Structures are given as structure tokens and as C-alpha cells.
Structure 1
Amino acid sequence: MVTSPSFSDLGLPPLLVQALRREDLIAPFPIQAAAIPDVLAGNDVLGRAPTGSGKTLAFGLPMLARLAGASTKPGRPRGLVLVPTRELAQQIERALDDVAIALGLRVASVVGGVPLKRNVERLTRGVDLLVATPGRLVDLVAQGSASLEDVAITTIDEADRLADLGFLPQVIDLLDRTPSDGQRLLFSATLDNDVDTLVERYLRSPVSHSVALAVEVPTMTHHLLYVDHHDKPAVVAEIASRPGKTIMFVRTKFGVDRVVDGLRAVGVEAGAMHGGKTQHHRTRTLAGFADGTTPVLVTTDVAARGIHVDGISLVVHVDPPLDPKDYLHRAGRTARAGEAGVVVTLVTEDQRQEVERMTNQAGVEIAAIDVRPGDRAMIAITGARRPSGKPVPVVAPPAQAPKPRTPKHENKSARRAHSHRRRGAH
């Protein structure tokens, strides 16, 4: 009988294994069990792994293990992780922080949307493992606040998304600034031409590991729900009223706000995520979704690329994706770590042909039915139920205390005194 390995079987330092045990992390996911020994051995690694496969620890743990026991100079990290979004960078930092502390190491993220001065101050204090978005790190290197000359090991995470967002020129610029003999790891859900360029240019005889994509996950089911255009808002509201965490994808920022307003008007706690929201709003909304106080998250594709939240049991394409790769990325938000998940796509009459073509290209086995509000089959698939109809109260931001007003006669006295001082100075 073959038993699954534990983290202690993979060659990780005992202090690191103990830190994982304190977080109830005992058994590694498949991508972790496969990749960690190769990274520890100093090999370059190419990982084909989607969101939710456990890839953060697959590269993060062995990177920390290889960095342990040496010192880092201010502004000169020894480990580097490049990611496409600030949310992903910050989540990787949180995931690795406690483990790093156990080894006496420091992890930090530098991202856009945060004051540059704060990034500079953090680098000045010394960072062993730096997690960064390419644009911000290019700026820091250009102004002399960061040097990559000491980077011994680099991970390119979500390489396909870095390519999709147009970051490859910055990624190439940054990799060219790291030592040519450094160890490199690359993780991507798909390996298309742009990603192949990075692999061929920067990875030396990489060891390849692969885990199932969304199309191959046995615990994930896919459904097309054909709906009349006039019924669609009511169908969306009933699906959103289900118990459990639901993520809904909408094509535009305006569409996200429209859907959220409609849901909250009928009693559904829903939050909006898109590029037009402030970083504070995005952080607060994501925290509410993660802890379940806001069980429905409505988002655009771009805003969702940094979302890594466990326990999402339903993905809804309110607006169908145009590209099969986007379909698979959206679907990968559910059925993570062996859990069950459902993916539904709402399709109006004018979208049928295009959506059927796209899902065929994605390679998913998919069932299609016609639905209306209150439909029993829809309820069975999604857990939909009628919303309460009571609007969600709007919470006003905390009021600021009014500034004390200076009496007019005091203002005049102050101006006269200032005028006398100015005349006396000449």
C-alpha cells in the first residue's frame, strides 16, 4: 500500500515543518510533493498548475529553505517572486510570512497602489524573499532603491497571466538583471507561445510537473443555463441568494456595479471588485468575501486575477467569457484542493452559438438546460432560492469631526500681527 508523503518526507528543514504543523499543514498537495524536492535539489522547475492547486507553497517553502542561514543586504533581496497582481503578491506574502519568521527570514511585497516611499522603507530594512509586481519593481530598480544582483532563486508565478496583461517586457528586463546562473521556477496554468519564450530563454533543463486543469477536475461540474434576457436579473438574484460563497463574473466595470446594486436591492449581500475601485475598497471587499460576511463577489476578469479564496462552491458567468482560457481561469476559482464545485454560464438566445463554440474549445464536458426564475433544475444545480426582497442597508462611511472654526476677529488679529512681523523684518 502506497502512503502519501508528509512535508517532513520532502527534505524541508525541521523548523519549517514545525511551523507548518502549527498551522495544521501536514500532508502536501500533489504539486507540492512533486516540486519541492526538485527545487531543494537546485533544479529549475516548470510547473503547469492552476489556481487552487497549492503552488504557492510548492515554490515558497523550498525557496525559503534555500535562503535560510545567510544574510541579506538592504535593498538586495536574495529570492524573488514575480506575480501579475498586487492582491496575489500580498496573499503570497501572508501565506509565507509565519514560515519565514520560523527560519529567521523576512518576506515582503512591493506592489503598485501602495506609496512608493513605503516600498523603499521596507527594502531598506532588508528583505530576504521579495514578492513583486513587475511595474513597481522596475520603478524601484530604476531609482536605485532595489538591486537584483544578489537574487539566487526566482519564481515567475501565473506566467500566462503576466503575458496576458502585457507584463512580459518588464519581466524580461527584471530577469536579465538577476544572475544568469541563478535558479528559476516558472508556474503557469497554460503554456502558450509567450510563456514558452520565457521557458526557453531563462530555464535550464527544467524538471516539469503538472496537475489537473479545471477541465480535468473530477469534482467540478459545468452547466449552461439558457435564460431569456428579461428573466436574467431574477435568475441572477435567485442564484446569488444561495448559501455558500459565490463568485460572479461580469464583463465590464459598469456591469459589475449594476449587478451588485440589483442584488443588494433585493436583499443579497454582494460586493463589487473592479479596477475602478480604490485599493482600500478592494481590500475590504475581499476580506468580507473571505470571511463569509459578504458571500457573493461580483468581479471583472482583470480584478479577479489576484483573488485566491478557499471555499468558493459556485462560479457564475453572468456574462460568458469570450475566450476558452478565460473560462478555465474563472472556473479554477472553485473545486480547489479536492472540494466539489459548480460552474454555470448564463446564456441568452443571441449568445448560444458563440458560447457553445467557446466551451467546446475549452474541452469541458457540459450540460445545457433552459431555465426560468424558480426553476427546479436550476435550484438543484446551484442551490438557488428566492431573495428576501429587503434591501441591504447602505453603511455610511464614518463621519469626520468638523474642524474647529477660528472666530473672525481672531483671524484679523493674526493677520495684523503677521503683517507687523513682516514689516519689522525689512
Structure 2
Amino acid sequence: MSFTNLGLSTKVQAAVAAAGYVSPTPIQQQAIPHVLARRDVLGIAQTGTGKTAAFVLPMLTLLEKGRARARMPRTLILEPTRELAAQVKEQFDKYGAGQKLNVALLIGGVSFGDQDLKLTRGVDVLIATPGRLLDHTERGGLLLTGVEMLVIDEADRMLDMGFIPDIERICKLVPFTRQTLFFTATMPTEIRRITETFLHNPEKIEVSKPASTAVTVTQSQVPCGREPHEKRETLRHLIRGATDLKNAIIICNRKREVALLARSLQRHGFSVGALHGDMDQTARMAALEAFRKGELPILVASDVAARGLC
């Protein structure tokens, strides 16, 4: 199977080929034809399976026809964190470079004025975190009545972060006739209820068992002492002993632990960046950019901020 067999437009196929991709991943192979057929899709897939392209590529194809209107986006993508939203924006920049589509981000840490200006110009693709999206609708600067496709990504993380009430509100603001694409790694009871409420006869695509690990991930368990300083010592030993280690993301449960561990590693001579929710957007993006460039090969992040980065 190749991307030429999925029904994507010539422009999108050319962009995929230019990016060096030949064969779709299982989630892409199964989801793309159903998205192009305007079916609702329930995708159960882990991060790292290529699910973002599974909705970005067909969305680019469908959006080649039509025109955006001021303050009325044609498609809406919901992400739980600013970082994930920014990554999806990068996918549109990558695959939609040859198209004249307006793509906008609505995330915290950015002024409302700049975002309002983009909305006024008309947006084909709106990528947003739930809270900031509702802020704009409540201020009267955004109408969702023209949304043709709604994507709810990382739904189980939305649940963990308490966004489900916001998701329910947003689903009631978009047209009943819209197409809905819903992606989650797990299917707890609350997520199942949401899918049964807001999806219409969806095509269920399950490329990995709920709560399973992606095949691209290797897991191992390392014994260490119970005290925090013993855990940090074990971590330093692992990093120093790793063969051909180019970069690493270390995930902590709490923001306070992120700051503490980052400072500890820095004191022991490691080049480390930190990423957590209390940082302003400029600092968060600077840390990510330094990590991607290799200027800071180690990134210590909170669980929420790291979602989708590894």
C-alpha cells in the first residue's frame, strides 16, 4: 500500500513524497479513506503511530475546495496542550506548503489581539486548546457555526486534565452535521460516553490495544533507592552509561519536581532544559527549540507538557 492508493489529492501526494514518505502507517491506511468519505472516525492509537497525519492529510485534500470566512473556521482541531497544538500546526506547514490555506493557533500565552486579527482574516484550519477557544467564543470574536470537521485529539489526556466539560460545550457549538474525528489511546468509561454522544455511526479503527505501548517504544525497569537523591543518582548513572545517547526527555509527575531535577542535573554538569505548565509560552517554546536543535540535549518535562513529544 502506498499513499497514491488512499484517495488523497495530487498536491497532498506531492507534499508527502517531498517529505520522503512512501508507505502509510496502519492508522493512516485505515483512517484516511473514511475521512475522505466524510465518515466519523473513532481512532484508538498511541502517540508515535502517525495518527496526526491520518487527519491532516485528508483534511488538506478536502479543504482544497471552498473558502474561509471571517471569524468562522472551516475545520477545528482540539489539543490538550500548547505544545501538541504547535506540533499539529507544523504538520500543516509541512504538508500544506503548496496550498493557500490559512491555519491559526488559539493557545494560551499569546495575546488575544494577535489571535483576533488572524480570525478576522478568515481561517481554514483552527487548532486550539479548549480553554482559549472558549475564551474567544465568549468574547464574541469566534463563531463555530461554519465548522465542517471537528477533530478531538488525545481525548484521554483531555479527560486527565479536566477538559471533558469544555469538550462537551464545544461539541454543542459546532453544527450537528459536522464530521467528527476522535482519537484516544485509552477508552475509559467517560471517554466511551463522549463518543456515544457526539459521534454518529463512527468507523472504529483500532491499531493498538487500549493502554498498550507503541511498537516503536522499548521499555525497561531499573531498580533504585526510595529516596529522591538516590533516584537522581541512578538517573545520572543511566545517562552517563548510555551508548550513543543524543537526546533524552525525562518526565516527572509534578511541576515542582521538574524544576528540582533540572537544577540537580545542571549542577552535575548536564545541559538541561525544563518544560512545565507554569512557564510562559515564550520560555516553553524556547526550551523546545533548544532541545530540537540539540543545544539542550536533555529536557525535563511534566507529564502533561511532555504529551506527544516522545
TM-score (normalizing by structure 2): 0.93
In 1, distance between residues paired with 2:213 and 2:48? 14
CA 1:244/1:19 → structure 2, altered by over 3 Å: closer, same or farther? same
In 2, distance between residues paired with 1:30 and 1:246? 27
Does residue 1:272 correspond to 2:274, yes or no?
yes
The residue aligned with 2:237 is: 238
Deviations 1:174-197 (A, max 9, x none): 111111011111000111112112
Deviations 1:363-414 (A, max 9, x none): xxxxxxxxxxxxxxxxxxxxxxxxxxxxxxxxxxxxxxxxxxxxxxxxxxxx
Give 1:121 shift. Answer: 0.6
CA 1:240/1:71 → structure 2, altered by over 3 Å: closer, same or farther? same
Deviations 1:322-376 (A, max 9, x none): xxxxxxxxxxx3xxxxxxxxxxxxxxxxxxxxxxxxxxxxxxxxxxxxxxxxxxx
Give the conservation status (yes or no) of the 8 Å contact 1:44–1:207: yes
The residue aligned with 2:219 is: 222
Alignment equivalent of 2:257, drawn from 251, 255, 258: 255
Letter in 2 for 1:76: M
The residue aligned with 2:58 is: 62
- SS of match in other structure, 1:137: helix
Give 1:271 shift. Answer: 1.1
With CA pairs under 8 Å and 6+ residues apart, which has the higher RCO, 1 or 2? 2
Give 1:217 shift. Answer: 4.1
Structure number with greater Rg is: 1
Output aligned runs, 1:397-416, within 5 Å: none
- Percent pairwise identity: 38
The residue aligned with 2:100 is: 104
Alignment equivalent of 2:164, drawn from 164, 168, 185: 168
Deviations 1:37-74 (A, max 9, x none): 01001111000011111111101111221122111111
The residue aligned with 2:202 is: 206
In 2, distance between residues paired with 1:220 and 1:24? 22
Moved over 6 A (4+): none
- SS of match in other structure, 1:222: coil
Give the conservation status (yes or no) of the 8 Å contact 1:100–1:106: no
In 2, distance between residues paired with 1:233 and 1:142? 46
The residue aligned with 2:143 is: 147
In 2, distance between residues paired with 1:262 and 1:42? 51
Give the conservation status (yes or no) of the 8 Å contact 2:80–2:154: yes
In 2, distance between residues paired with 1:81 and 1:236? 37
CA 1:34/1:138 → structure 2, altered by over 3 Å: closer, same or farther? same
Letter in 2 for 1:232: K
Unaligned runs of 5+ residues in structure 2 are none
TM-score (normalizing by structure 1): 0.68
RMSD: 1.7
Give 1:219 shift. Answer: 4.9
Give 1:77 shift. Answer: 0.7
Does residue 1:135 correspond to 2:134, yes or no?
no
Unaligned runs of 5+ residues in structure 1 are 309-332, 334-426
Give 1:216 shift. Answer: 4.7
The residue aligned with 2:302 is: 300
Give 1:233 shift. Answer: 2.7
Letter in 1 for 2:212: V
Give the conservation status (yes or no) of the 8 Å contact 1:73–1:126: yes
The residue aligned with 2:287 is: 285
Give the conservation status (yes or no) of the 8 Å contact 2:276–2:302: yes
Deviations 1:276-301 (A, max 9, x none): 22221111111122222212111111
Output aligned runs, 1:42-121, within 5 Å: 42-121=38-117
- SS of match in other structure, 1:35: helix
Letter in 1 for 2:46: P
Give the conservation status (yes or no) of the 8 Å contact 1:64–1:129: no
Give 1:218 shift. Answer: 4.5
The residue aligned with 1:321 is: none
CA 1:143/1:300 → structure 2, altered by over 3 Å: closer, same or farther? same
The residue aligned with 1:389 is: none
Give 1:238 shift. Answer: 2.1
